Structure 1
Amino acid sequence: MSVEPLQRSAVAKDEQWNLQHIYATAKQWEDDYRRAGSLIDQVAGYKDRIDSASALLAFLEQEEELGFLYEKLFVYASLKLDEDTRVTEHQARVDRARSLGVKISSATSFFRPYLLSLDKQTLDGYIAQEQGLEYFKKELYDQFKYKPHVLSKDKEEVLSQLGEVISAPKTIFGMINNADIQFGEVTNEQGEKVALTRGMYMRILEGRDRERRREAFKAYYKPYVGLKNTIASTLAASVKNNVLFSRMRGYDSPLHRSLFADDVPVSLYDNLLQTTREHIAPLHRYMAYRKQKLNVDELRLYDLSVPLVDDCEVSIPYEQAYETMLAGLAPLGGEYLDILRKAKTAGWIDVREKQGKRSGAYCWGPYGTHPYVLLNYNDTLDSMFTLAHEMGHALHSYLSDANQPRISAQYKIFVAEVASTVNETLLIRHLLKETTDEPFRRYLLNHFIDTIKGTFFSQVMFAEFEKLVHERAMNGEALTADAFSEIYEALFTAYNGELVALDPEVKYGWSRIPHFYNAFYVYKYATGIASAVSIAGRILEGDEETTKAYMTFLKSGGSEPPLELLRGVGVDLLKPEPIRDLLSLFDDLVRQLEEL
């Protein structure tokens, strides 16, 4: 149950984070801010002056120190603002930190073109001459791998000046989607017509009143359908940009270009799509079960979010939630649990909703301190899952920082959701094992099924849409509203099954997805949950080698490419097994729900 936001002074100290672990006083922040300004001038002075191994080392050491300082400054300022977004002093500090970041970016912008102008023999020679460069070796070669895809100096300068033009499709869609779009009206609980909002839309879709769901669905899609040609032009421009720049830089395709940074082969993407398509039957069976439970003649898109089991009105105080989480994560071992226990009372977590505090939840922190977790805990089951999720991020960051030098501590986005999802999976399977209350068990099963549906199946469908539209663009085919709609409607039916009747609005689903302007990103949600479920399943089976390997993974940060890190814990995403295992679990969860 939700509670009124509190004044910060009314919250117990052990339920607030302690930012003094970063800066004990505002003066210390100001001192570092001035020091960062001096370092910017020093770093900028290396432009056109790196002509030896010793000069390269000196630049890299000062650049790293500057980056470390900036991270502390910006994280502290942001966390302080999130404590109370109303405080102008905090707002000003964040603005100053952002301005500092712009100056740093400008001062160091010369380095990558310089590095990529070297031939490999020269770079190898510098590293061999200067022992200190061994520390930077991996980062240097990670950047150097882009050399085959770098254009001439003149062309690169032209492209750098086209930044705003290139990003225009994303910017324009953002303005349409966030600022200009006006949804239709819906009927509120008092029978009055009110303007629909996004937050209201999701609440209505999860409600029991089908007529209200239908009304909200129509009102939500109405502006997107009305703007279909404008949005199609925007998305087409984004896709064509991706095709153009992948060709200019010598990549095989936009997909190849997008996966290149993470050392991920295109075959992984294809394997994800193919394996999911081959094992889609359990999702179709779940749709049949959903139709039966909702007792509707035709299952429609606005029937797919309403829970099949009434929300369990359980109140879970924070103390109880933390103990339950510890019990659920016990298979991870004593080292993991000891850190979790310490985190609870050591100023890591800001627990309660407070007046002026930022909404939502996240984990963040500078290297050399510890992670900070923002919650808005309100004694619900969802709040407990959020706690477990964010503490997964926190432990991953803490263990990576504690066991890696700064240069390799940060893990890639590709694996960022693995630890958080392992925690959620272990917790929900613990609750399913321990509960004797059948309504609660049904609720948990439905929650787990819908989590997999949203995090895996929906994202794979989006990933296949991206691949198909980029292939059309590469073949010179037109990308119109009708073309996008044809592809999207066919995919929606293939993934969700023939039982879902298609309202005219369904085919325009492509027009409302912001992620399509950051192409080939959404597949990482799917590979993340597949990896996590595979790891958690083997840990729960008592596989000590997996548990040990998983702790090594958490301590490895970004020291290896993400696929190598996952292979170390028994997940090979180039093979179909991890995807099959997730879909097998989904099948089993649907079967259990059917039997109950």
Structure 2
Amino acid sequence: MPKELKTREEIDAKYKWNLTDIYETDSQFESELKAVLTEIKEIKALKENFTSSAEYLINSLNKIIKIEEKTARLYAYAHLKYDQNTKNNKYQNYKNKALTAYNKLSNSTSFMVPAIIKLGTTKLEDYKKENEKLEFFNHFFDNILREKEHYLSAAEEKVLALAGEVTQSSENIFSMLNNADLEFPLIEDENKEELRLTHGRYIDLLKNEDRRVRKDAFKAMHGEYKNSENTFAAVLDSSVKGDVFYARSRKYKSSLASALASDNISTDVYNNLIETVSNNLEPLHQYMELKKEILNLDELHIYDTYTPLIKEIELKFEYDKTKEIIKKAVAPLGEDYVETVESGFNSGWIDVYENKGKRSGAYSSGCYGVHPYILMNYTQDISNLFTLSHEMGHAMHSYYANQNQPYLYADYKIFVAEVASTLNENLLLDYMLENAQTKEEKLYLLNYFLEGFRGTVYRQTMFAEFEKMIHQNVENGESLTSQSLKTMYRKLNKKYFGKALVIDQELDYEWARIPHFYYNFYVYKYATGYSAAAALAEKIKNQGPEAAANYLEFLKAGGSDYPLNILKKAGVNMEKPAVIENSTAKFKKYLKQLQDLI
């Protein structure tokens, strides 16, 4: 008989998060929800006089912010309750009700931004002289007013909002094609047993030791996209045209500038990433050559690149041991950081083990005024060690931001969201390498880093360059066809992976299966976040407590300033090539260590 998963009730309480820190009982949640829905209705009454005086503006903003904070707490409780057992209909209902409250709040406050823009900078400055409490909202106002030239009249904004249902349909069409309509063929596994190829099985099949299995999976996967290449090209063309439409409607210089505006990121940051990585591709080319040599292949194909260079070794970590390793790894960040991590491990932050109905994967979440929470489905392999360290990095970012910022400025931007999590991983890797007991263990860890870097910095930058190319094509009046997309994608694969890799015809169709190309210049943030984290980790390692203190100030800043400014205060300037160059230098250093050990 197969071993069954435990039910929620069978899991020891010390391995479960403590959601009573949000609401002690479900009845408290229900009472708060009822009160918040009433308060949301009252927001509409603020509209008419919202900017009529400094005092009314302050009181209105404070009231709205308080309601938003309560709504966020409701959602946090509901989704965490639901995720711990997705079969529980009660908490599915709670989650839906909390989402409904969020939507109602968003609709009720839609007048705020246009009203502040209409009020204007001059009048706001007069109000600040009348009531200095308005100074608290300086960054909030600046974040709105810096974009005022890109807001349109009320009538035009309404048209753009209506157009959204059409322009945003491309991603939905792609999702339906990719997830519902495509059916991949049967292939034979290493035991000659037939199995259906799926998105979920694909990467595992590419890691299979049997090269025939890898090749069959690769060809079968991309063969299906080839069969629908013109449809996928038309959908992507429509999506990009939507991005260009909005950029031009709002009078941005380009769709790239439009996409980066919400984070106040210069296009120089994006272009600097592509240019600097492009100038430092030689280490990746060397890594491809090394893969070909170690795997003893006459030709290296893309379906070979996911095969681990180093055989899996028996590295198992019981949960209690994992906690101790992570605490030691983050010790360079100081006593307060380590003590807080320890408190997180022992104070109901983490839901550790899988149970029946529990959501898969891992994440960090929570709400203002309560410690963060981490969902895990912990097993004893090394990937879970790194995952827990990663999620604790997110949690510590939220913890320090919440402790040091008011609700309005506690939430940090996506641009910096992966910095804290990836920095924790950097410190963990360094610690693990320094304490590796065997040559095999060190080789495994080095390979683990190189593969992560290849996927996060090199591959995501290649995706970012492809996004830039396809948007520029449309901005120049061209349509994206299957042929033009294949040509651009083949050119980039040759550039990034070098001469060691044979570019199979099927690889020309990979662009068709990447959902991130519908996210409007999102993927570059993976590469910049990873690079910023690597730079900060090196500073902490080399400069000690002073660099650690600067890093903690970065965590404490939350969203109180623009992302680039916050990173600069921590000692990282993403507008300069040095950060990316140092990141690729670390890849080169670890590649050399791997070569020396083999």
**Which TM class, normalised by the smaller chain length?**
over 0.9
C-alpha contact 2:15 2:350 (8 A) present in aligned 1: yes
Residue identity opposite 1:435 in structure 2: A
Which residue in 2 is equivalent to 1:25? 25
Residue identity opposite 2:380 in structure 1: D
Deviations 1:232-285 (A, max 9, x none): 111111111211221121111011111112121111111111111111100000
Return the alpha-carbon distance in structure 2 between the equivalents of residues 79 and 560 of structure 1: 29
Deviations 1:73-107 (A, max 9, x none): 01100000011110111111111111111211111
C-alpha contact 2:120 2:145 (8 A) present in aligned 1: no
C-alpha contact 1:183 1:195 (8 A) present in aligned 2: yes
State the 1:190 CA deviation: 4.3
Which residue in 1 is equivalent to 2:586? 585
Matched residue of 1:558: which SS?
coil
Residue identity opposite 2:147 in structure 1: Y
Residue identity opposite 1:199 in structure 2: G
State the 1:529 CA deviation: 0.7
1:404 aligned to 2:421?
no
Residue identity opposite 2:343 in structure 1: K
Which residue in 1 is equivalent to 2:234? 233
Alignment of 1:134-533 (within 5 A): 134-533=135-534
1:66 aligned to 2:67?
yes
Q: Which moved more, 1:76-85 or 1:200-209?
A: 200-209
C-alpha contact 1:352 1:375 (8 A) present in aligned 2: yes
Return the alpha-carbon distance in structure 1 between the equivalents of residues 339 and 4 of structure 2: 33
Residue identity opposite 2:61 in structure 1: L
Return the alpha-carbon distance in structure 1 between the equivalents of residues 349 and 125 of structure 2: 43
Return the alpha-carbon distance in structure 1 between the equivalents of residues 197 and 293 of structure 2: 29
Which residue in 2 is equivalent to 1:34? 34
C-alpha contact 1:233 1:480 (8 A) present in aligned 2: yes
Matched residue of 2:264: which SS?
coil
Aligned identity (percent) is 39
Which residue in 2 is equivalent to 1:86? 87
State the 1:72 CA deviation: 0.6
Q: Which moved more, 1:362-371 or 1:427-436?
A: 427-436
Matched residue of 2:592: which SS?
helix
State the 1:312 CA deviation: 1.4
Deviations 1:498-524 (A, max 9, x none): 211111111111111111111211111
Return the alpha-carbon distance in structure 2 between the equivalents of residues 292 and 380 of structure 1: 28
Return the alpha-carbon distance in structure 2 between the equivalents of residues 112 and 189 of structure 1: 59
* TM-score (norm. length: structure 1): 0.98
C-alpha contact 1:14 1:344 (8 A) present in aligned 2: no
Q: Which moved more, 1:97-106 or 1:398-407?
A: 97-106
State the 1:153 CA deviation: 1.9
C-alpha contact 2:554 2:569 (8 A) present in aligned 1: yes
Deviations 1:546-586 (A, max 9, x none): 11101111111111111111111211111111111111111
C-alpha contact 2:332 2:544 (8 A) present in aligned 1: no
Cα pair distance change 1:388/1:439, threshold 3 Å: same
Q: Which moved more, 1:442-451 or 1:306-315?
A: 306-315
Return the alpha-carbon distance in structure 2 between the equivalents of residues 583 and 66 of structure 1: 45
Return the alpha-carbon distance in structure 2 between the equivalents of residues 173 and 196 of structure 1: 19
C-alpha contact 1:39 1:62 (8 A) present in aligned 2: no
Matched residue of 2:361: which SS?
coil
Q: Which moved more, 1:100-109 or 1:116-125?
A: 116-125
Residue identity opposite 1:150 in structure 2: Y
C-alpha contact 2:423 2:533 (8 A) present in aligned 1: yes
Which residue in 1 is equivalent to 2:43? 43
C-alpha contact 2:531 2:579 (8 A) present in aligned 1: yes
Matched residue of 1:373: which SS?
strand
C-alpha contact 1:16 1:347 (8 A) present in aligned 2: yes
Residue identity opposite 1:292 in structure 2: E
Return the alpha-carbon distance in structure 1 between the equivalents of residues 193 and 494 of structure 2: 35
Residue identity opposite 1:8 in structure 2: R
Return the alpha-carbon distance in structure 2 between the equivalents of residues 223 and 101 of structure 1: 40
Matched residue of 2:87: which SS?
coil
Gapped regions of structure 1 (runs ≥ 5):
none
Return the alpha-carbon distance in structure 2 between the equivalents of residues 512 and 351 of structure 1: 33
Which residue in 2 is equivalent to 1:595? 596
* TM-score (norm. length: structure 2): 0.97
C-alpha contact 1:184 1:222 (8 A) present in aligned 2: no
Return the alpha-carbon distance in structure 2 between the equivalents of residues 144 and 3 of structure 1: 59
Runs of 4+ in 1 over 4 A off after TM superposition: none
Matched residue of 2:59: which SS?
helix
Aligned-CA RMSD value: 1.4
Return the alpha-carbon distance in structure 1 between the equivalents of residues 170 and 131 of structure 2: 45
* Matched pairs, number: 595
Return the alpha-carbon distance in structure 2 between the equivalents of residues 248 and 89 of structure 1: 44
